[in-house]
Structure 1
Amino acid sequence: MEIKPSNRLFTWSNNQQNSVMATIDKFFVSTCWDAHFPTSHVQALARIGSDPTPLCVHFGDGSPNMQKPFRFEKWWLEKEDCKKIIAKSWNAPIKGNNAISIWQNKLSRLRKCLTGWNANIEAAQKKIKKS
């Protein structure tokens, strides 16, 4: 995915009277980068004696997001407990100002419930394996 400079539309100019402007310098990142540095952004610096505009990458708050991304596992659906957790979490009342915030809050709560449930399953499997 491309991160465009936050302060300039074009990164190159021919410096002529009838100016031609283009974006020839681009900054691309992977989705993994975006997950670790969600607040990163690109800033165009002043052109001093240089034809293209130098770009500076800011990583955000300085610390990468080390939180493990949520992944829904297909095998969870084979467990009866999972279906009960999903139904209980989804049907519980939740606050929100509009449909989008309610949806996001429900998904956030569901992720937390499923993550905790999965951690318990993994701990039980490790215990069985160890014994």
Structure 2
Amino acid sequence: MEPVECRAVIWFLYLKGRTPRETFDEIKETYGVDAPSYDLVKRWHREFKHGRNSVETAPRPSRPPSAIDEASVRQVEAAILEDRRITIRQIAQEVNISTGSVETIIHDHLYLHKVSAR
């Protein structure tokens, strides 16, 4: 049973005035082993009772997938071409990304490597 489908059934039975136990028993009778647990039914009844009216998963805030995009790659490349002796820390401050992201851009996107240790 899909989570959204499960919540929709619980929402429907909640609106019909069923208790969590009655809802669980009816879902168990219909879906058998695919039925959600009683604790899950109780939790969603409580959510609906406290004003939730959506069965969809709520969006969660998260970090952006990566600081590395075309603009930052171009900025790092321009900084290196302008001053070949610039350090990774200086580039990171200039472009406003982490040193790890700068290293990734230099090695994986620009395919640059150190020629001399001096």
The TM-score by the shorter chain falls in which range?
under 0.3
TM-score relative to the length of structure 1: 0.21
Give the strand-richer structure, 1 or 2.
1
Query: Larger Rg: 1 or 2?
Result: 2
